[in-house]
Structure 1
C-alpha cells in the first residue's frame, strides 16, 4: 500500500512514538489526524511538524477509552478528509509498579491499563473498520515486548499489551482480506515515559545486541515499512528491541 495521498489516524500522537510516526507518514505524503488526550500544546507542535514537511493535518482531543469520544473523532475526521486509510493505535498508559509488589498493583491501575491499551485499541479499530475495508487500508497496533515476556512497568501493563497482541490477531482474522492488521512490539524506547528511569534504561541497553535503546524514529520506520512494504503480512507482531529478547 502506498502511503502518499492516504489519510492516517494516529492515536496518542502528541509526543514520543506517536509524534515520530505522524511525522514519518507525513514526510511520505500522508494526511495526518493527530489524536491526543491531554496536551493541546504538544499536539499543536506535532501538527506544526507535519505541516513543515508539506502535509495536511488536524488535531482532535479524545480519550480513546471512551467510545462516544472515539465515535465523535471519527465523524470529524471524515468531515475533514473524506476517508481514513491507515489507523495506528499508539495511545497507551501505565503506572509503574515493581512486578514483585503484588499488593501495590491497585485495581485502578488494572482498569486504566486495560481501558486505554486494550479497549481503546478496540474502540478505534471498530469505528474505523468499515472505512478501512472500503479503502483496503491497514491497522498497526503499537504494543510492547512486555506483552510477550510478562516483564515491564507493571503486571497490569504487561497483561494489557499481551491482550493487545491477541486483539491484533483477532482483528486480522475478521477484517481480512481487505484490511491488514499487525502489531509492533518495541522494547525500551527513549521517550519521556522513561525519564527518571536511567538505571533501568542502562541495564536494558547493555542487554541489547545493538548496544542502544530504541528511539521513537526506530519505531516510526518500522511502522511505515509494514504499511508500505508488507502487503502480504497480517496478524503478526514485529519485535523492535535491538535483539534484547533473543
Structure 2
C-alpha cells in the first residue's frame, strides 16, 4: 500500500461494481479513506468495503441516489462528520438505455440524463462547495466516455449525457481553479466488466467486433481505468479541465475496422 492519498477522503459514486469498485479499491490501496456509494446494491457495496478492509484500508458504504440532491447532501455531510473532509470526488455512477432514437421513450431519456449528467452536476456542486469551504483544495474526476466525443448508434441519451459531462468538467475547472480544486474527466472506451457483457447482448456486437475495431486489439481493464483516475486525482500535476481518453486508440483510428487482424 502506498501513501499517495494518505489522510485524504474520497467519495466514489456507483462504486459497488465494475469500474467504480476498481477505482475505490485502488484509491484505498494508495492510502485514501473511501466512501463506497451505491443506490441499490448494498450487498455488493459491503463486499467492496470488506475487500478494502481486508487489505488494511478504511472504507464505508453509503446509500444515495446521485440524481437526488437530498441524498447527495446527506452523503457528503455524513462523510465530513465521520472523516472530517471530502478531498476527492469520483463521479462514476451511470446507466444507459440502448435503442433507436426514433423509438426512445421520453422517460428513459430523462432517467439517463438525470443519472449520467444531472447526477454528476449535483455531486460536483455539493462536494465542490464543501471543498471550497475547507480551503484545502481538492480533486474531482468525472467518468465520461469516448462516446461523449463521438456519435454511436442506439445510444442517444448516453452519448448526449457524456458530452455534457465533458463540457461541465471544463466549466467547473475554470470556475474552481482559484480554489485549487482540479476538475478533470476520464473518457473510457470499451472496458471489460459485467455491465459491458450485458450491453453487448442487447446491442448485438461481439468481443471480436471490439477487438478488430480497437487499435490495441483488446478491451481495456478496470485496473487501467483506476490507474488513470489515480493520476487525475493526485492534484499535484497542474492538470485541470482535461479529458483523458482511455480507449485503446478507438477514436484516433480513421480505418474504423481491421478485417485482417489476428
Length-normalised TM-score, structure 1: 0.94
**Structure 1 residues 153 and 51, CA, compared in 2 at 3 Å: closer, same or farther?**
farther
**Structure 1 residues 152 and 30, CA, compared in 2 at 3 Å: closer, same or farther?**
farther
User: Counterparts of 2:235 and 2:67 in 1: how far apart (Å)?
Assistant: 30
Q: What residue is the counterpart of 1:205 in the other structure?
A: 211
Q: What residue is the counterpart of 1:241 in the other structure?
A: 247
What residue ranges of structure 1 are gaps of 5+ in the alignment?
A: none
CA contact (8 A) 2:64 2:72 kept: yes
Alignment of 1:65-104 (within 5 A): 65-97=67-99, 101-104=100-103
User: Counterparts of 1:152 and 1:18 in 2: how far apart (Å)?
Assistant: 25
Q: What residue is the counterpart of 2:173 in the other structure?
A: 172
What number of residue pairs does the alignment pair up?
243
Q: What residue is the counterpart of 1:216 in the other structure?
A: 222
Q: What residue is the counterpart of 1:131 in the other structure?
A: 130
Greater shift after overlay, 188-197 or 86-95?
A: 188-197
**Structure 1 residues 3 and 153, CA, compared in 2 at 3 Å: closer, same or farther?**
farther
Report the Cα offset of residue 191 of structure 1. Answer: 1.2
CA contact (8 A) 2:87 2:131 kept: yes
Q: What residue is the counterpart of 1:117 in the other structure?
A: 116
After superposition, give the CA deviation of every residue in 1:13-37 in whole Å (9 maximum; x if it has no partner). Answer: 0000000000000000000001001
Q: Give the match's secondary structure for 1:149.
A: coil
**Structure 1 residues 112 and 52, CA, compared in 2 at 3 Å: closer, same or farther?**
same
Measured on the aligned residues, the alpha-carbon RMSD in Å equals 1.6
After superposition, give the CA deviation of every residue in 1:178-235 in whole Å (9 maximum; x if it has no partner). Answer: 1000000001111122224263443122122211101111110100012227521100
Alignment of 1:134-213 (within 5 A): 134-151=135-152, 154-177=155-178, 178-196=180-198, 197=200, 199-213=205-219
CA contact (8 A) 2:67 2:119 kept: yes
**Structure 1 residues 201 and 24, CA, compared in 2 at 3 Å: closer, same or farther?**
same
Report the Cα offset of residue 52 of structure 1. Answer: 1.9
Alignment of 1:44-59 (within 5 A): 44-59=46-61
User: Counterparts of 1:223 and 1:77 in 2: how far apart (Å)?
Assistant: 20
Q: Give the match's secondary structure for 1:174.
A: helix
What residue ranges of structure 2 are gaps of 5+ in the alignment?
A: 253-262
Structure number, greater radius of gyration: 2
User: Counterparts of 1:37 and 1:163 in 2: how far apart (Å)?
Assistant: 22
Greater shift after overlay, 83-92 or 218-227?
A: 218-227
